[in-house]
Amino acid sequence: MLWVPQDLSQVCQVHTTVTSCAPANVIFLNLIAQIFGSSRDKQTSAQTNQYEFSKFILGGDYTHEYFENPENIKKEIKENEFDFIVVGAGSAGCVVANRLSEIPEWKVLLLEAGSEEPEVAEVPAFAPLLQRSSVDWAYLTQPSPTSCLARPGGRCYWARGKVMGGSSTINYMIYIRGHPEDYDEWEAMGNHGWNYDNVLSYFIKSEDNKNKDHLNFFFHGQGGYQSVEYFPYQDKNVFRIIDGFKELGLPEVDQNTDDLIGVSLLQGTIHAGERLSTNGAFIRPIRKKRSNLVVKTNAHVVRVLIDKRSKTAVGVEYYLKKRIQRAFAKKEIIISAGAINSPKILMLSGVGPESHLKKIGLHVIENLPVGYNLHDHTTIDGVLFALTNKTATSVADEKKKFDVFRYKKTHSGPLSATGPLQVSAMVKTKYEKSRSRPDIQYSFDAANVKNFITDPILTAESNSNPLAYYDGFMVRPILLIPESRGYILLNTTNPVYGAPLIFANTFKERIDLLRVVEGVKQSLNLLQTKSFNKLHATIADTPLPACKHLQFGTDEYWSCVATSYTATIFHPVGTCKMGPKHDKAAVVDPRLRVHGIKNLRVIDASIMPKIPRGNTNAPTIMIAEKGSDYIKFRWLHDKTSFEQTQNKNVFSLYY
């Protein structure tokens, strides 16, 4: 069995009244693992001796006989040489590997630290089951005085995909691009070529929109690798939520145009009732057809090998099948490991903040602000609308099993969709000065009201209920334009295999908290609409434990909820910021080349100088499409650069 669900025994108490910890739920998870736990792709397994490798990589002494013999290095390079190496098979890496391998003469290596994509990930309603499972890095933030105060140890959970497809394999499949002015803003920051007119063609290039006839054709494409369409199933509550926002004056819009403010029935990265991750869209169709593409899973890349004299990236070092392995690139290395792991790999390679790297004991090759400018789309737990039996979709265990087998056979029914999460609304609060851009987005998470009121922390940690079944909504006001900035550092105890230290600094800037509280208050207006009266929706007004000393519903109460029960929709960006050379906060230039290092690029969400006002998966795919063209332009048209690279001295590797 490839996929292993979260071990609930680690978080659940023996006599808990939270149903997600009940034996019936454990049995259900085991059933899902048995039916959907394998992968349709070839499996490669490897075990890692973490201590041994960490000791080797940070030992600092690389003068043993192997490296003193140039013939050994020549032989190793010859046997493990590629034109390009792509590190990370996530939302960006799968796209880059596909586009580069379109050139038959180029040999491309794609390395992924996680496993093959399991079938369970393809079932839309099973998205919550993937978190904290074997395909999730399951990172935690560091304690902060302004957020996550009620979470265990004051740390918030950040899901990140450790699997083919990366976070596009474990996310909630929402396809939203952001506002056109977001990208115009990128260009205004010195990033030539990144305005909306330039990037729109790359959004369209990858898209195969199955519902284009119902949308503004100017903004959408067909024939690309990434299928985008409406989910095939909606319960009645989905349309009642949309009608509620329309009663409040919001228009129904396509939020992938130039008009985001309004309410939408969302499209997802799915095809015929199944999730279509970037692995499924960009790699699976070509993997067995292109002999110039090599994919290795369970290959944990530790660092880029950089010629320290010429500052040229020449290869990578990774761990696979219980041993250290190396691969070398004749042209370029592309880091696409995401906003958490891309900065980690760069720092382990000697590229990062000088003072921090020296403290770890790493040789500094290039002093850059790697890991800084971290920001995310923050939200909160605690705004809970309860439903009655008339509108709740909760079902008995036998009905769940019936739906499982129905989906397995037909890819239809409640499990083929994401329940109320198919609705997105975007609004302006009184703090937003832009004329046309929103600062708050609303999503509606399926919720078990009794569970949450009984124990909000345990409910969050043990959530494995399919999105189709709920007796209430967790209304999430999502902060679209955070001003707070955090940073990432290497783990000082175990820099290689230890989880990086994530200092999110959520709500460090007070305006972020004010926007979220205002977003909460605006969402409560839905309860006054006729549509929500038909839903029999009411506010669950039991004060949460950490805030019970405050009057429910006041600004002070909601501020307490926000700082105590802080959450995220898992959109970290910015840690390898894109910017011109004079931008002291920039790590890569507008062509995504790492400043000061030759033949090394970063292509993923970490390069975003500022987060778009919308979900980040579609923008990350766009970045990968555009970045791939930058690479093609260089090597297919710039012969001078190619010739210079061929003459590099491979014997001064950073060993």
Residues contributing to the annotated binding site = 163, 301
3-class DSSP state of 62? coil
Q: Is 300 a catalytic residue?
A: no
How many CB atoms lie under 10 A from the CB of residue 453?
Answer: 18
How many CB atoms lie under 10 A from the CB of residue 288?
Answer: 10
Torsion-angle region of 525 (φ positive above 0: left; ψ -120 to 50: alpha; else: beta):
alpha
Residues 124 and 231: beta-carbon distance below 8 Å: yes
3-class DSSP state of 383? coil
Q: What share of the chain is helix, strand, coil (3-state, %, to 5)?
A: 35, 20, 45
Given the residues 571, 582, 595, 637, select the one marked as catalytic: 571
Closest by Cα among 622, 109, 577 to 330: 109
- How many Å apart are CA 387 and CA 526, to the nearest integer? 14
* Binding positions for FAD: 163, 301
- How many Å apart are CA 335 and CA 613, to the nearest integer? 25
Kindly state the DSSP code that residue 143 receives in the 8-state scheme: P
Q: Which residues pair with 320 in a beta bridge?
A: 323
Helix or strand holding residue 595 (H, E): none
Kindly state the DSSP code that residue 341 receives in the 8-state scheme: H
The 3-class secondary structure across 491-525, one letter per residue, is CCCCCCCCCCEEECCCCCCHHHHHHHHHHHHHHHH
Q: Tell me whether residue 555 is exposed, middle or buried, using C-beta atoms within 10 angstroms of its C-beta: 0 to 12, 13 to 18, 19 or more.
A: middle
- Name, in order, each residue with C-beta under 8 angstroms of 27's C-beta and a sequence gap of 6 or more: none
The two structure tokens encoding residue 390: 């008339």
Residue for token digits 């395909």?
Answer: 135
Phi, psi of 461 (to 5 degrees): -75, -25
Residues 376 and 602: beta-carbon distance below 8 Å: no
The two structure tokens encoding residue 43: 């499996």
Torsion-angle region of 352 (φ positive above 0: left; ψ -120 to 50: alpha; else: beta):
left
The end-to-end CA distance of the chain, in Å, is 39
| Dihedral Cα 270, 273, 279, 285, nearest 10 deg | -110
How many CB atoms lie under 10 A from the CB of residue 376?
Answer: 25
Residue positions counted in the chain: 655
Give the CA angle between residues 94, 342, 168 to the nearest 5°.
40
3-class DSSP state of 312? strand
- Catalytic amino acids? 571
